Amino acid sequence: MQVNTAKNLDMDNCLLDGLNPEQREAVVTLDRTLLVLSGAGTGKTKVLTTKIAYMIENGYAFPSQILAVTFSNRAAMEMKERLSAMVTGTESVWLGTFHSICAKILRSNADLIGLSNSFTVIDTGDQQKLVGQILKELNIDKKIANSVVTAISRWKDKCMCPNDPRIDAKSIDGRVYALYQERIFSYDSVDFGDLLMYVIRIFKENSHILQKYRDKFKYILVDEYQDTNMTQYMWLRMLSPNGSGLCCVGDDDQAIYSWRGAEVGNILRFEKDFLNTKIVRLERNYRSGGHILGAASSLIAHNENRLGKTIWTDGNNGEKLLIQRAYNGFDEAKIVAEKIELLHLKSVKFGEMAILVRAGFQTREFEERLIAYGIPYKVVGNLKFYDRQEIKDLIAYMRLIYQPNDSLAFERVVNVPKRGIGAAVMAKLHARSAERNISLFQSAKEMLENNEFRPTVMESLSTFVKFIESLGKRNDLSPAVMAKIILDETGYLSILTNERTVESQTREENLKELLRALEDFEDLATFIEHVSLVTDARKNSGDDVVSLMTLHSAKGLEFDAVFLAGWEEGVFPHNMSLQEGNLEEERRLAYVGLTRAKKYAFITYAMNRKVYNQWQANLPSRFLSELSPEHVVHQKSKAEKYYN
């Protein structure tokens, strides 16, 4: 289909009404490879949907000749809804995530690699179960299953098969990967990584199939290009080797997912990959005030590896960023809660406010302050602190030690970590408990005395019962020390450490935060009562609640007021990121956080934090000094004035 350049420039097209000049240019450019650098809040979704509608409405392509790729089902659904409201007949547009598009292609060509077209796509849970089975067969501890699954996923992000020379075939991960791939294939199943890898293999081994799809798709549009991994990049390059009809939209300043395989280099080298590239920069922000944008721009300008753009607004400057130093973590949470109350009195809805933290463990102090102040909240992208699995496990241990007849606590932890006490054993314990009207713990003791289990169960259950009873007699132990003993003696913490995954690291940080919180309680009874009060706090109803989340979870969202907490060296930027040389990604994460705010942005940091019963002085985050002074105001807290 020949592109009509004159028609591209028809600014009278009603679809172009309401677009600014840069957005229009991005929409009507069809004769060159196009990279749209879309800053935060500059209307990239509007550009993408309008571009597709423009091509259909003006006859540049049939809907079925357009491929539009997104990163999430939510983004795909939003684009479909907007598109159908703009033009008719859009149902045949190939619009979906990388995985859904590749699944569609693979089902049509599965026989070429020995799969049926009804193959099953397994999820992460199935992956972990299968890897666990293989580890057991190899006489390797199943506790490392999560880390092996992560390693396999990262290899697939780089399009690395088990026989790839870059993989150590003799390592545990390498051995399991080879067996895993054989096993999953024999089950006529694939995982999400396979969906792309198998399509790439089909394209490589069957040039006529690849050419068929190259001919089919006249235009290819990709959203969030900065988040593509190497396998996704290879797939796109195969479909559009010279960039003909290719339009990628992204923001290198919002590339924050390297930890899950994303390669920011894909967008940074775009002009080298596609020589006839045109770059359109969307810099006019429709979300935030001038001071917020000025501060965010001054911060991100310190990154060396970026394509460069400066977001701006033709609206008013609004409020300057308020930076407030707190005396400690408790003081910081109190400051934020009080400011939320003040903003709410000024008619800012709770639902238009968010607290953004670098790591999940930071939410605890804020949750407790919000509850104390009666401020409704929700934790986005995660469970509330005391609802998280590892926290509930440790608290259940402590409940059982405090009250051995707590059968709910017993049932939760008797096989955590796994001790070989399965459903059959629990059924016997429940039967005895009902028959004698006694607790599960009492049932266990009675049945152990009568030698009613097989030897392996007798040994593990007896060890568990003795462990609980021994700690129950230790009235000299503080809750913090007792919790540390539980984690060490059961191996709970070491299991998480050995998993070596992002998830296990997060869970480990949560447990360490709970240990820190326990230092504030003199006895077990007081702590257990405190937890009951916190977890029984009234349920929040409706949407008018403060959002509490990590910075990673906040991407794509916006709020009237944003509170950015914990801007201290080692917290943000995070120690691990500094050790791995990912300072620029941490700065991009700060940029993402700042640009979530529409009217108000607050940054807090603490002079001291209590870590393992010791006060630790923290340096302010280096990011604070990188904010342009004309856009910020510094303020001391009441507590700091008092202690000074």
Active-site position among 22, 24, 42, 44:
44
Q: Give yes or no: residues 475 and 571 share one domain.
A: no
State which of 249, 284, 319 marks the end of a domain: 284
Report how far residue 394's alpha carbon sits from residue 382's, in angstroms, rounded to the nearest whole number: 18
Q: Please work out, in degrees rounded to the nearest 5, the angle formed at the alpha carbon of residue 217 by the alpha carbons of 263 and 67.
A: 55
In the structure encoding, which two tokens stand for residue 213, read together?
């799809």
Alpha-carbon distance 231 to 302, whole Å?
Answer: 30
Same domain, yes or no: 366 and 514:
no
Model pLDDT for residues 38-56, shown as the tens digit of each residue: 999 999 999 999 999 999 9
Q: What is the pLDDT of residue 10?
A: 47
Q: If you average pLDDT over each of 371-380, 398-407, 619-628, which comes out highest?
A: 619-628
Active site residue 442: no
Instruction: Clarify whether residues 410 and 334 are in a common domain.
Output: no
Q: Is 630 noted as a catalytic residue in this protein?
A: no
Which among 173, 194, 223, 390 is annotated as catalytic?
223
Rounded CA separation 510/263 (Å): 28
Together in a domain, 126 and 237:
no
Burial letters 401-424, b for 16+ CB under 10 A, else e = bbbbebbebbbbbbbbeebebeee
Task: With respect to residue 110, please indicate whether it lies within any of the assigned structural domains.
Answer: no
Q: State whether residue 201 is helix, strand or coil.
A: helix
Claim to verify: residue 132 and residue 180 sit in the same structural domain: yes
Spot the catalytic one: 224, 251, 499, 568.
224
Strands 120-121 and 189-190: parallel
Q: Report d(CA 614, CA 627) in Å as an integer.
A: 31
Number of structural domains in the chain: 4
Residue 4 pLDDT > 80, yes or no? no
Q: Does the active-site annotation cover 506?
A: no
pLDDT at 319 over 60: yes
pLDDT tens string 415-430: 999 888 988 999 999 9
Q: How far apart are CA 638 and CA 644, in angstroms?
A: 10
Categorise residue 59: left if φ over 0, alpha if ψ from -120 to 50, beta otherwise: left
Instruction: Note whether residue 304 is domain-resident.
Output: yes
The single residue of 32, 45, 57, 107 carrying the catalytic annotation is 45
- CA separation for the pair 439, 447 (Å, rounded): 12
| Active-site annotation holder among 596, 598, 609, 640 | 596
Contact 87, 162 (CB under 8 A): no
Q: Is the pLDDT of residue 7 over 50?
A: no
Per-residue confidence (pLDDT) for residue 617, from 0 to 100? 87
Instruction: Point out the domain boundary residue: 512, 532, 552.
Output: 532
Please state, in angstroms and rounded to a whole number, the distance separating the CA atoms of residues 255 and 485: 41
Report d(CA 401, CA 394) in Å as an integer: 11
Q: Is 111 within the bounds of a domain?
A: no
Does 109 map to a domain?
no
Residues 6+ apart with CB under 8 A from 642: 327
For 505, other C-beta atoms within 10 Å of its C-beta total: 15
Q: For 227-262, write each residue's pLDDT tens digit.
A: 999 999 999 999 999 999 999 999 999 999 998 899
Mean pLDDT calculated for residue range 195-214? 97
- In the 3-class helix/strand/coil scheme, how is 330-354 assigned residue by residue? HHHHHHHHHHHHHHHHCCCCHHHEE
Q: Quick one: CA dihedral 48, 49, 50, 54, positive or negative?
A: positive
**3-state secondary structure at position 416:** coil
Return phi, psi of residue 440, to 5°: -65, -35
Residue-number span of the structural domain to which 89 is assigned: 5-104+197-284
User: Of the ranges 143-152, 454-463, 494-503, which one carries the lowest mean pLDDT score?
Assistant: 494-503
Beta bridge partners of 379: 548
372 occurs within a structural domain: yes
With cut-offs at 50, 70 and 90, classify the pLDDT of residue 539. Answer: low
Tokens of 255: 């590339």
Q: Are residues 59 and 202 in the same domain?
A: yes
Do 518 and 620 lie in one domain? The reply is: no
Query: Is the pLDDT confidence value at 315 over 80?
Result: yes
Is 579 in the active site? no
**DSSP-assigned beta bridge partners for residue 34:** 247, 278
Q: Is position 223 annotated as part of the catalytic site?
A: yes
Q: pLDDT tens digits, residue range 172-199?
A: 999 999 999 999 999 999 999 999 999 9
User: Helices 21-28 and 44-57, interaxial angle, to 10°?
Assistant: 40
Residue among 226, 254, 313, 595 flagged as catalytic:
254
CB atoms within 10 A of CB 345: 8
254 is catalytic: yes
**What angle (nearest 5°) sits at the alpha carbon of residue 390, between those of residues 388 and 396?**
100
pLDDT at position 532 over 80: no
The domain boundary residue, chosen from 187, 207, 228: 187
> Is residue 12 scored above 60 in pLDDT?
no
